[in-house]
Amino acid sequence: MEMATVRHRPEALELLEAQSKFTKKELQILYRGFKNPSFLSFPECPSGVVNEETFKEIYSQFFPQGDSTNYAHFLFNAFDTDHNGSVSFEDFVMGLSILLRGTVQEKLNWAFNLYDINKDGYITKEEMLDIMKAIYDMMGKCTYPVLKEDAPRQHVETFFQKMDKNKDGVVTIEEFIESCQKDENIMRSMQLFENVI
Amino acid sequence: MAAGVAAWLPFARAAAIGWMPVANCPMPLAPTEKNKRQDELIILNVSGRRFQTWRTTLERYPDTLLGSTEKEFFFNEDTKEYFFDRDPEVFRCILNFYRTGKLHYPRYECISAYDEELAFYGILPEIIGDCCYEEYKDRKRENAERLMDDNDSENNQEGSMPSLSFRQTMWRAFENPHTSTLALVFYYVTGFFIAVSVITNVVETVPCGAVPGSRELSCGERYAVAFFCLDTACVMIFTVEYLLRLFAAPSRYRFIRSVMSIIDVVAIMPYYIGLVMTNNEDVSGAFVTLRVFRVFRIFKFSRHSQGLRILGYTLKSCASELGFLLFSLTMAIIIFATVMFYAEKGSSASKFTSIPASFWYTIVTMTTLGYGDMVPKTIAGKIFGSICSLSGVLVIALPVPVIVSNFSRIYHQNQRADKRRAQKKARLARIRVAKTGSSNAYLHSKRNGLLNEALELTGSTEDEQHVTKGTSLIESQHHHLLHCLEKTTGLSYLVDDPLLSVRTSTIKNHEFIDEQLFEQNCMESSMQNYPSSRSPSLSSQHGLGSSGCSRRSKRSHLPNASVAATRLRSLQELSTIHVPCSQQPSLTTSRSSLNMKSDDGLRPNCKAAQITTAIISIPTPPALTPEGESRPPPSPSHASIPTTTSNIVKVSAL
């Protein structure tokens, strides 16, 4: 409960500029969006950090038709690198720095980290299934074709066929990166969001 | 999409990288920012007061005055600022709307002035935030009522009323006696007769002088005929009234079931039953009981009194408190009666003959009545009796103020609850509209975006005006994000909107068919050459996987060609083909078109490496083919030979 009264100030602009790959102007734009007053009205959201509820709320605005709470939860965990329950501006900037300005290796690393729910270095089928279900949930009910019950599972099977080289039932980071680098679609789509800021 | 959330769009898009390794289809291209200007401060001069904000802040809502190019009309070249000759106080709220995404309504503002300003700036009042919406609606309604009153009084003076049917006029007259003089007369007449009836019932029983030589008679027996006539008159009036109400009621069934009509029936039934019944000794007892029900006529007054109705409603809603009171009383009564019985058992000639007999003592004592007909005589009895009376005060005194305060609370709450219910429905409707609006917007833009691509492919510049302009960059980015999600999962959004299915020439429907479903279908149904152009090639597959969602929007067969169809004849789109290279030579496509020419087609291929595709959506039935149009050649496709690991082949058609 002390979090509510603590005002979190981000690190100095120069420091963040040095640590991340953004310029000062970009950091300014990011911070203006991050510290948007419309989220300070959230009673549980102390200023300066974003908590999981806000994440879920943001995502539900972007995907109104489906249920994005699960995916937002996984995403939150991926951003909250120090696992203290809230995403500060530094976490935010570091995450975005990897996603937008990082090398392909770093991006794949980040994606692996997202899928690896318990952060043990292996993606198991159950973890992947959770992630897949969360993604499919975001589409919602009204889709064409209708989402079948085992569509996520099938998708996971396809994924594992592609990624799991030694067929041991888990995907390690090396297997993941190797498989992704061989797939030119994935490589190309990694570059898709270069100019987001 | 809320303004504040738009600032998080870059984050959501960046996080979409998390879907990439999972996706089976390649992602669509991102919308490019054609003219990426640096964000600049713009100055808004409103009647001398200067406001400054970022340009992107205003562009969050492109369909308002400030967010669109309409504000250029107010641009002052000399001072390089936008000048508005309007109220600066209200402008503050409006600018805050752009900043925070919430529109507030200040209480000190006049409602009509505020509405005018909103209309000027092109902002719909429906987006007022929940914190201020109640206030706004209340004020608006008061204003509307005031206007309506003014209009009504004007109308009444003129004497022109909208013509209702006879039945409706009658019903209105019954419900609201102030509508016309006749209704008022009716109201008072019935009220008078109710009073007369009740008084006669009462006076009937008063002993009124004795006929010499017999016992004292009540007035009712002495002047039997007179009372009978009075009773008959009253009942006739009530019957006529009931029948008239029944005739005029808009929903007779509901009227019959309503409380007031039941009271009416109960009030007049005894008379008729009395008429029918003979003066038999056996049934006269029952007959007498029936006369008791005549007292229910007094409840008919509740039509005449608003307060009675509210009281009745309050009692109904206070049922739980009353029930609690009753329950606790019953508990206490039983306890004390038992105790008193056993305490007084010893004393001789005690009136406490049984526990039920002691109930009477307990009730009288607890309600502090104390008639004195039953009094404890033993010491133990007296002690327990005093405890009983003390606890009685507590048990009864406690719930009563609760009920009273409940009454007052419910009275006010009743008024507020109705208001809130109406607003909740409206609010949910607004949210629903916003949701479908955003997905509608997405589907529209998807369509337009593909049309754009296609137009660019063919180099045609003519149909650009069909494409909606004014899709802000943020919207196009949001749509791109949704598109990526569709690609990742292999599903696509559906919106139930009949309007989507009818557009002129620019509809291009595409459906993403799930890879697995498709393989299944291909294996099941034999791949036929797609014959006539009317039937969608994959109609058999469409039949499967039907959902509750309406698919009208995707299944429109355009009945008429439109002129622009000719320009679309060479339109083709990128399509993605899944080729399961390893096993079946079946061909899957992920797009299907509605009206395909007969020789276009997905030809089944036996060799995995060779893929053909021709997805051409030309919304013309063959009969109306303009003569210059040639059938588009079957497109050879450049298939990129898939790598051994990947099953996805991207094909670019001609």
Confidence of residue B47 (pLDDT cuts 50, 70, 90): very high
Higher pLDDT, B8 or B464: B8
CA distance B650 to chain A (A): 10
Q: B281 or B231, which is more confident?
A: B231
CA distance B464 to chain A (A): 26
CB contacts, 8 Å: B493 with chain A:
65, 139-140, 142-144
Residue pair B64/B121 in contact by the 8 Å Cβ criterion: yes
Give the highest mean pLDDT range of A178-182, B222-226, B356-360.
B356-360
B61-66: long-range pairs with CB below 8 Å, 24+: B61/B3, B61/B97, B61/B98, B61/B123, B62/B470, B62/B471, B62/B472, B62/B475, B63/B122, B63/B470, B64/B121, B64/B122, B64/B123, B65/B120, B65/B121, B65/B122, B66/B94, B66/B98, B66/B121
- Encode B534-546: b = buried (16+ Cβ within 10 Å), e = exposed: eebbbeebbeebe
d(CA B107, CA B446): 42
Residue ranges for chain A with pLDDT beneath 50: 1-5, 37, 39-46
pLDDT tens for each residue of B484-496: 888 888 777 765 5
Pick from A61, A75, A196: which is nearest to B18 by CB? A75
* B555 band by pLDDT with thresholds 50, 70 and 90: very low
Among partner residues B1, B17, B22, which is closest to A193 by beta-carbon distance? Answer: B17
Helix H or strand E segment including B402 = helix B399-458
- If you average pLDDT over residues B138-150, what whole number do you get? 77
| pLDDT for res B621 | 41
What residues in A contact B478, CB-CB < 8 Å? Answer: 62
Q: Which pLDDT band holds residue B162 (cuts at 50, 70, 90)?
A: low
Residue B446 has pLDDT above 90, yes or no: no
Question: Inter-chain contact B494–A151, Cβ cutoff 8 Å?
Answer: no
Measured in angstroms, the CA of A35 and the nearest CA of chain B are apart by 10
Q: What is the mean pLDDT of residues B48-71?
A: 87
Q: How confident is residue B359, by pLDDT bands cut at 50, 70 and 90?
A: very high
CA distance B20 to B25: 9
pLDDT of residue B11: 78
pLDDT of residue B90: 92
Chain A residues near residue B513 by CB distance under 8 angstroms:
145
Asked if B5 and A61 come within 8 Å (Cβ–Cβ), the reply is: yes
Cβ contacts (< 8 Å) between A42 and chain B: which residues?
none
Q: What is the pLDDT of residues B514-539, one digit of tens each?
A: 444 444 444 444 444 333 333 333 33
Question: Min CA distance, B21 vs chain A (Å)?
Answer: 6
Q: What is the mean pLDDT of residues B429-447?
A: 75
Give yes or no for B641 touching A (CB within 8 A).
Answer: no
Position B578 scores a pLDDT of 37
Inter-chain contact B17–A190, Cβ cutoff 8 Å? Answer: yes
Mean pLDDT check: name the lowest of A182-196, B192-206, B208-222, B253-267.
B208-222
- The pTM assigned to this predicted structure is 0.44
- pLDDT of residue B71 exceeding 70, the answer is yes
CB contact under 8 Å between A145 and B491, yes or no, is yes
DSSP tag of B515: H
Whether B410 shows a pLDDT value over 50: the answer reads yes
Chain A nearest C-alpha distance from B60 (Å): 13
Listed range (A120-134, B13-27, B419-433) with the worst mean pLDDT: B419-433
Contacts of A107 in chain B (CB under 8 A): 17
* Residue B478 pLDDT greater than 60, yes or no: yes
Contacts of B20 in chain A (CB under 8 A): 111, 186, 189-190, 192
Q: What is the pLDDT of residue B434?
A: 80
pLDDT at B316: 80
pLDDT at B328: 84
Could you give the strand order of the β-sheet that contains B648-652, starting from the edge strand earlier in sequence?
Answer: B588-589, B575-578, B648-652, B638-639
Chain B residues inside the 8 Å CB shell of A64: 434-435, 438-439
**Residue among B489, B496, B513, B516 with most chain A CBs within 10 A, to mutate:** B489
pLDDT tens digits along A48-88 = 677 788 778 888 888 888 888 888 898 888 888 888 888 88
CA distance B13 to B477: 8
ipTM over 0.95: no
CB-based contacts of A105, cutoff 8 Å, min separation 6: A177
- As a whole number, the mean pLDDT across chain B is 70
Contacts of A138 in chain B (CB under 8 A): 485
Burial zone of B646 (CB within 10 Å; 0-12 exposed, 13-18 middle, 19+ buried):
middle
The DSSP 8-state label assigned to residue B398 in this structure reads T
Question: B 526-585 residues with CB below 8 A of A?
Answer: 544-547, 549, 551, 554
**Is residue B437 less than 8 Å (CB to CB) from chain A?**
no
Give the confidence band of B602 by pLDDT, cuts at 50, 70, 90: very low
pLDDT of residue B644: 40
Query: A13: distance to nearest CA of chain B, Å?
Result: 19
Q: Which chain B residues touch A132 with a CB distance below 8 Å?
A: 22
- Name the minimum distance, in Å, from the CA of A3 to any CA of chain B: 23
CA atoms within 13 A on the CB side of B114: 22
Confidence band, pLDDT 50/70/90 cuts, at residue B19: confident
